[in-house]
A and B are shown apart, each in its own frame.
Chain A
Amino acid sequence: MRLRTHHTPKPARNDTLRPLTALKGAESGVVQELHGGACFRNRLAALGFTPGVLITMLQNRRHGPVLVTLRDTRIALGRGEAHRILVRPAQGKRC
């Protein structure tokens, strides 16, 4: 299963949109766009990564996977996968 790379996010186009990996621990954001192959986006969407949903970063170290929570679910995502999810950072911090 090869991910289509022509969907690679371009954060420069709209500077309020950031990849999920830009959120630090305990920061929240609202999912805006998913990039990648249809199969990959489909899986993410089914798990609840749909535009408009609030997502909170639980753990984001410099390397390795990130840990997020959304829709009462904790999900571990590879760094590459998290990079394909664009969010708009939410105002203020949320635990």
Chain B
Amino acid sequence: MNGNTMYREHLMNLLNALTNLSPSRNILSQFVLMTPNDFQVLECSYPELMSKDGMSILSLLGIEINGTVSRSRGGFAEVLFKQIHEVFEWLDDEEIRSRLAKLLDIPLSSMPNPYAEWVECVLQKLSQKSYGPIVIKLLNALVQRGRFLSENEWEYFLEEFKRKTKADPFDLEKALKVVIGNRDCKKIGDKTFSSTWVSIRDIEYLCLEHGVYHLDVICVHERERITYGHRYTGPERSSTYEVKHKKTIENILRRVIT
């Protein structure tokens, strides 16, 4: 394989393939992203995939359908689910996007952004729901705030949002579930410091709040400190909350609101 600018064609093909596998463009990827879920919910949203042929495709991809629909451990759907999130992150990173645009010799605005496409898709769908405007208000409040330095700050923000919105409690609950919930944590650190009298263990987790539609807006950095010794006081916990994809969401909201 050789040639001076052949890499451009292949890089473009790679980006197109990854973008075409994203949930805004493919119903199979969208279905995978929305699992696990209740059979009835998915049957209502994706009736064509619940046909005989549809279900046999899903089964080959590693989707288990009983009373509920889930991704089987180690199946292709599980891998695709992870990859969709990786691509959301990768192609929404400004530095990556500008480097790719330069390499491909295309304007930055022509670069595909699967995450932005997905958010637009979800907001479009939610615009027909009674709680759609609350989701937009919540996203707006979150991107304006950017981060919360403690659990208390976060809780206070949520309480204030609920109080100021004065929305129907049912709609409010639904709107919150779009953004918060389905927490997915991975351990990113586990260190122990020991001296003669005391031993301190610091554990860190990075958690992504997927929400119902995987808008992945909130990332929580959790820290737990356990002190062992004669003055054992139990674990101390602290958390910071970071709003992810801030610039992209801001741009989309600007368009949606105007």
Partners in one complex: no
Binding site for B on A (CB under 8 A): none
